[in-house]
């Protein structure tokens, strides 16, 4: 399996090279040169596999088979808080919540990152290399990255968060990880200041090389690949490949819904993709009227979807444009320059035949959380609620098609919104119940580049040996 860039100018790579590179050197995103497709009989044969076994089989199809995948998947998902790893919970006569939040940080990013940390470590170890991962977080992504990298021998990780501006749960999920390769820095400033510092470190070429800076951001192909298996697990459980299913995904960067699209491309009968947005509704506007124009990001009750430029959309665009790298590059360049993406009408029509867009504001989100609680005693977090409301509003006309809703965060991760809607404050799962008693370790530093770089340098245990 080789990977090519959506912008057509990068040399083809194998899975491991794509894992380490992240972005292609022409600015594009890596996609498989050809999509692996399974027959109905091959899909049927995977029914009933334990989740780690299913994940290992699917990842092998993407060229990750040189790694000890089965052991990695067993380890990555062994610590999850549910024996099914990704349980499917029926919400009403046709909607099913696919719970992706039983990992260490209670959100779906763990599904990919728990595996990615191990993959990175394995490949770096084999090459005798090491990296320093730096990142900025406003809350959630930082803890998923820290849990993915903790105790990995070839990785050091430094995460910047804005001092006093994350919730206490979010801060403690990061700062109570006392592994020696993890360092948390509370920056005196806001999230933008943290992000600017990370960008400045990457732009400081000598520092970047000295520290071997790296990131595990959401455009990394391996993250998408690691998200395909749970859609396969859910579809197979509901009768695929002998029965059609639909999927509803609360969406930000388009990574999670793209993984569902990949599952369809591999031969699973997914009839529709329903995209749920909060008031940051660029994707819904695109599907409604071919208007892909970025607007200022506004805060909402579902902060992990407060995104205006859905970076993984480029991979779908590449397909919609007939895998024409030059056309994709041109479209993306114009989007950057003009703030509006010129998608040809035929490509837009193709997208609307498969994708349906739905927008829900904060009031609607609270009333959906209340609805799920009063009708079925199901406590949903605000992101998941956007997905369930979208599923109910835009389910396929054929009522025999069940809808799989990606439940992306545990309700205890967003207790304030859940309590406002239902009067119930969801408790943390038992394995995190002592979070508020755990020792924390972090440094508070001023937001100037010299100070932060010195802290990163001091932390990085370089290849001294
Ligand atoms: C990241 C995230 C999303 C959005 O996922 P994308 O892959 O960026 O579309 C939705 N819900 C939660 C809880 C998240 O953490």
- CB-ligand 1 contact for 256 (6 Å cutoff): yes
Q: 51 near 59, Cβ under 8 Å?
A: no
Q: How far is the CA of 19 from the centre of ligand 1 (A)?
A: 20
Range of the domain at 415: 76-106+221-422
Q: With a 6 A CB cut-off, is 253 part of the ligand 1 pocket? A: yes
CA pseudo-torsion sign 103, 270, 351, 355: negative
In a domain, 119, yes or no: no
How high is the pLDDT of residue 453?
A: 97
Q: What angle do CA 382, 384, 389 make, to 5 degrees?
A: 95
Helix (H) or strand (E) holding 237: helix 221-237
Q: What percent of the chain has pLDDT over 90?
A: 88
- Give the CATH number, domain containing residue 389: 3.40.50.1100
DSSP 440: -
Taking a C-beta distance cutoff of 8 angstroms, is the pair 250, 274 a contact? no
In a domain, 38, yes or no: no
Tokens 């440094």 belong to 443
User: Average pLDDT in the 132-141 region?
Assistant: 87
pLDDT digits (tens, 9 = 90+) for 86-96: 999 999 999 99
- Which has the minimum average pLDDT: 118-127, 160-169, 421-430? 160-169
Domain assignment present for 459: no
Q: Whole-angstrom Cα distance, residue 65 to residue 17?
A: 14
Cα dihedral 402, 255, 143, 99 in deg (nearest 10): 10
100 alpha carbon to ligand 1 midpoint, in Å? 11
464: pLDDT strictly greater than 80: no
Cβ density class 381-399: b for 16+ within 10 Å, e for less: bbbbbbbbbbbbebbbeee
The pLDDT confidence band at residue 138, using thresholds 50, 70 and 90, is: confident
pLDDT band of 165, cuts 50, 70, 90: confident
pLDDT of 166? 86
The mean pLDDT of the chain is 95
> 324 vs 191, which has greater pLDDT?
324
- Asked if pLDDT for residue 463 goes beyond 70, the answer is no
Q: Tally helices (H) and strands (E) across the chain.
A: 19, 15
Distance between Cα 249 and ligand 1 center (Å): 9
> The tokens of 47 are what?
């029914």
Q: Does the C-beta of 254 come closer than 6 Å to ligand 1?
A: yes
Task: Give 275 Cα–ligand 1 centroid separation in angstroms.
Answer: 12
109-124 mean pLDDT: 96
Average pLDDT over residues 27-47: 97
Alpha carbon nearest to ligand 1 atom 11, residue: 408
Q: Are strands 340-341 and 292-293 parallel, antiparallel or unpaired?
A: antiparallel
Least confident of 102-116, 118-132, 336-350, 450-464: 450-464
Predicted confidence band at 113 (pLDDT cuts at 50, 70, 90)? very high
All residues at 6 or more sequence positions from 171 whose CB lies less than 8 Å from its CB, including other chains: 161, 186, 440, 442
* Confidence (pLDDT) at 217: 80
Residue 101 lies in a domain: yes
Ligand 1 test: best mutation among 102, 105, 108, most atoms within 8 Å of CB? 108
> Measured from the CA of 254, which atom of ligand 1 is nearest?
9
CB 36 within 8 A of CB 266: yes
Is residue 391 domain-resident? yes
Tell me: the pLDDT tens digits for 317-343?
999 999 999 999 999 999 999 999 999
Active-site annotation holder among 109, 126, 199, 413: 109
CA–centroid distance, residue 142 to ligand 1 (Å): 13
What ligand 1 atom has the least distance to the C-alpha of 109?
Answer: 15
Q: Is residue 456 included in any domain, yes or no? A: no
Q: Is 304's C-beta closer than 6 angstroms to any atom of ligand 1?
A: yes
> Ligand 1, atom 15: nearest CA belongs to which residue?
304
Classify residue 287 as exposed, middle or buried by CB count within 10 Å of its CB (0-12, 13-18, 19+). Answer: buried
Q: Is the pLDDT of residue 390 over 70?
A: yes
Please compute the mean of the pLDDT values over residues 381-410 and round it to a whole number: 97
The yes-or-no answer on residue 109 being catalytic is: yes
Domain count, the chain: 1
In eight-state DSSP terms, residue 60 is I
Burial of 30 (0-12, 13-18, 19+ CB in 10 A): buried
Pocket test for ligand 1, best of 104, 107, 315 (most atoms within 8 A of CB): 107
Q: How far is the CA of 98 from the centre of ligand 1 (A)?
A: 14
Residue 461: per-residue pLDDT:
66
Query: Quick check: is 323 in a domain?
Result: yes
**Confidence band (pLDDT; 50, 70, 90) for 246?**
very high
Alpha-carbon gap, residue 184 to 163, rounded angstroms: 11
> Does residue 305 have its Cβ closer than 6 Å to ligand 1?
yes
From 392, 397, 396, 357, select the one nearest 371 (Cα to Cα): 392
**Residue 338: φ, ψ to 5°:** -110, -10
What is the C-alpha separation between 427 and 418, in angstroms, rounded? 11
Of 101, 135, 170, 252, best ligand 1 pocket probe by most atoms within 8 Å of the beta carbon:
252
Q: Phi and psi at residue 93, in whole multiples of 5°?
A: -65, -20
Task: Confirm whether 433 is domain-assigned.
Answer: no
Other CB atoms within 10 A of residue 258 CB: 26
């Amino acid at each position: 399996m080789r990977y090519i860039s959506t912008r057509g100018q990068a040399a083809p790579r194998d899975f491991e090279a794509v894992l380490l590179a992240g972005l292609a050197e022409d600015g594009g995103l890596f996609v498989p040169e050809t999509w692996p497709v399974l027959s109905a009989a091959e899909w049927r044969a995977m029914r009933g596999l334990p989740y780690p076994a299913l994940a290992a089989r699917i990842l092998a199809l993407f060229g990750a088979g040189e790694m000890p995948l089965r052991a990695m998947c067993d380890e990555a998902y062994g610590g999850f808080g549910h024996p099914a790893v990704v349980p499917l919970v029926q919400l009403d006569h046709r909607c099913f919540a696919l719970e992706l939040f039983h990992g260490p940080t209670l959100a779906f990013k763990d599904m990919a990152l728990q595996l990615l940390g191990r993959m990175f470590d394995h490949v770096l170890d084999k090459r005798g290399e090491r990296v320093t991962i730096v990142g900025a977080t406003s809350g959630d992504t930082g803890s998923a990255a820290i849990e993915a990298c903790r105790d990995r021998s070839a990785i050091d990780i430094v995460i910047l968060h804005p001092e006093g501006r994350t919730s206490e749960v979010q801060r403690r999920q990061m700062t109570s990880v006392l592994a020696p390769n993890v360092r948390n820095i509370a920056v005196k400033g806001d999230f933008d200041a943290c992000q600017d510092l990370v960008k400045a470190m990457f732009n400081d070429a000598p520092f970047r090389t000295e520290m071997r800076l790296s990131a595990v951001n959401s455009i990394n192909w391996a993250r998408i690949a690691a998200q395909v298996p749970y859609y396969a697990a859910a579809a197979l459980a509901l009768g695929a490949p002998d029965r059609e299913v639909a999927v509803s995904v609360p969406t930000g960067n388009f990574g999670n819904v793209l993984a569902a699209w990949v599952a369809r491309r591999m031969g699973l009968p997914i009839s529709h993709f329903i995209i749920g947005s909060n008031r940051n509704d660029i994707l819904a506007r695109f599907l409604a009227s071919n208007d892909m124009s970025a607007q200022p990001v506004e805060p909402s009750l579902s902060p992990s979807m407060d995104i205006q430029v859905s970076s993984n959309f480029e991979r779908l665009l590449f397909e919609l444009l007939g895998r024409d790298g030059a056309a994709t590059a041109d479209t993306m360049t114009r989007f950057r320059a003009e703030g509006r993406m010129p998608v040809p009408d035929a490509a837009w029509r193709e997208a609307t035949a498969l994708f349906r867009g739905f927008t829900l504001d904060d009031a609607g989100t609270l009333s959906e959380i209340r609805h799920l609680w009063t009708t079925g005693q199901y406590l949903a977090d605000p992101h998941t609620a956007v997905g369930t409301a979208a599923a109910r509003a835009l389910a396929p006309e054929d009522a025999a098609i069940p809808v799989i809703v990606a439940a992306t965060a545990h309700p205890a991760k967003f207790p304030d919104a859940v309590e406002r809607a239902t009067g119930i404050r969801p408790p943390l799962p038992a394995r995190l119940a002592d979070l508020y008693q755990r020792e924390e370790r972090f440094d508070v530093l001023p937001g100037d580049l010299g100070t932060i770089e010195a802290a990163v340098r001091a932390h990085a245990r370089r290849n001294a040996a």
